[in-house]
Amino acid sequence: MAARAYTSAVRADAVRRTRDEILDAAIGLAYELERIDLTLDQIARRSGRSIQTLLRHFGSLDSLIDAAVERGTEQVAEERRAPTGDVPHALELLVAHYDSKGRFVLRLLARDEMTVTGPGRLLHRGWVEQVFADAIARSREPVVLTDLLVVATDVYAWKLLRLDRGLTAEEVRQRMSSMVEVLIGGSR
């Protein structure tokens, strides 16, 4: 009996690794091509797996893309994770995230790719609620303050400062920090 349990665990681990490699290939390809309308053939080639293997693991291209979006969203959340109240560090992580993935996100937003941008908007609002929890809790108008902090730290704010104005990442972080300080200091 023990040998069978070991074999099942080894097999489950191999299945998980294969799924992870397929998802990582899809995510990497999406970032590289700056789009999510990928084909099974593209993902199969990138992952080194057959189309049949992809279908066996995910059932359909739509299910594979949904799983990749979910995994990518989890990766973004982890990439941006900062302790509550550590605003300088949080903004540093945010600007670094935008520098690495902002152009991709802007392209998706321009195409209204709700599969990705919907969860991304929720993730960003949740990030704001977590990072600025203390200030929001003290606010007379917590929903208004949250909305304003979302705007001040949004990818479009990064775009205006970094891409349109050509500021450095540090200058962008400083500008965002100034906006946040004004909003928190005013404690709407």
| CB-count exposure of residue 51 (10 Å: 0-12, 13-18, 19+) | middle
Question: For residue range 161-176, what is the model confidence (pLDDT) as tens digits?
Answer: 999 999 999 999 999 9
CB 153 within 8 A of CB 180: yes
Model-wide pTM > 0.85 = no
Contacts of 136 (CB under 8 A, 6+ apart): 129, 142, 145, 146, 149
* Residue type for position 133: A
Domain 1-80 has CATH 1.10.3720.10: no
Mean pLDDT of 66-83: 90
- What pLDDT, on the 0 to 100 scale, is given for residue 118? 80
Mean pLDDT of 141-168: 96
- What pLDDT, on the 0 to 100 scale, is given for residue 13? 87
Question: Is the pLDDT higher at 78 or at 188?
Answer: 78
Q: What is the C-alpha to C-alpha distance for residues 100 and 123, in angstroms, rounded to an integer?
A: 17
- Among 55, 114, 106, 101, CA closest to 75: 101
In the chain, where the domains are located? 1-80, 81-188
Q: Residue 113 — pLDDT band, cuts 50, 70, 90?
A: low
Q: What is the C-alpha to C-alpha distance for residues 177 and 126, in angstroms, rounded to an integer?
A: 18
Q: Residue 6 — pLDDT band, cuts 50, 70, 90?
A: low
Q: Residue 179 — pLDDT band, cuts 50, 70, 90?
A: very high
Q: Residue 188 — pLDDT band, cuts 50, 70, 90?
A: very low
CB 117 within 8 A of CB 69: no
Q: What is the C-alpha to C-alpha distance for residues 32 and 23, in angstroms, rounded to an integer?
A: 14
Mean pLDDT of 34-53: 94
Mean pLDDT of 86-115: 87
The two tokens of residue 187 are 């404690």
